[in-house]
Amino acid sequence: MSSDSRIPPLAAVLTAAVALLVGCADFERGPVAADAGALPVDGGGGGDGGGAVSFETDVHPLLTTGCQGCHRSGGAAGSTSFLLTGDVEADYAAAVSLTDTSNPSASRLLRKASGAGHGGGAVYGADTPEYQTLLSWISGGAQP
């Protein structure tokens, strides 16, 4: 008996790994809202009636909902440099390290959220209100 029969074919292992990583972005997001593609009526200035976007109020909930399922200790993306704990201050430090306020749309946080080089696929596409909130936050200086 050949020892090769006990080793899964490489293609099967790679397929399983890709399926695990791609599925990561879809954990616990629930159904897409009917207005998911609509731009915010307040011009993207956050949920406070048009003022500056707040990390704690506007951005942190997006990151915990869309990213923390995988980007947490023990999660599928737990070995990456972007880890979320649920603590606003710690998560702010993790998120702001992936921003470029001099070129907001090139920020790693936005590129990953929209699926560019992200093993979990697109979490918030560029045409979503969530992406626009992240972009507004970074454009406004990525303040806490």
User: CB of 121 within 8 A of CB of 138?
Assistant: no
In sequence order, what are the residues at sequence separation of 6 or more whose Cβ sits closer than 8 angstroms to the Cβ of residue 95? 55, 59, 63, 82, 109, 142
Alpha-carbon span 71 to 84, nearest angstrom? 6
User: CB of 45 within 8 A of CB of 140?
Assistant: no
Neighbours of 28 (CB within 10 A): 8
The yes-or-no verdict on residue 14 having pLDDT over 50 is no
């560029």: which residue's tokens? 126
pLDDT digit string, tens, across residues 62-121 = 999 999 999 999 999 999 999 999 999 999 999 999 999 999 999 999 999 999 999 999
User: CB of 22 within 8 A of CB of 121?
Assistant: yes
pTM above 0.85?
Answer: no
Token duo for residue 136: 């507004």
Token duo for residue 126: 């560029």
Residue 51: its pLDDT value, please?
Answer: 76
In sequence order, what are the residues at sequence separation of 6 or more whose Cβ sits closer than 8 angstroms to the Cβ of residue 67? 82, 84, 113, 123
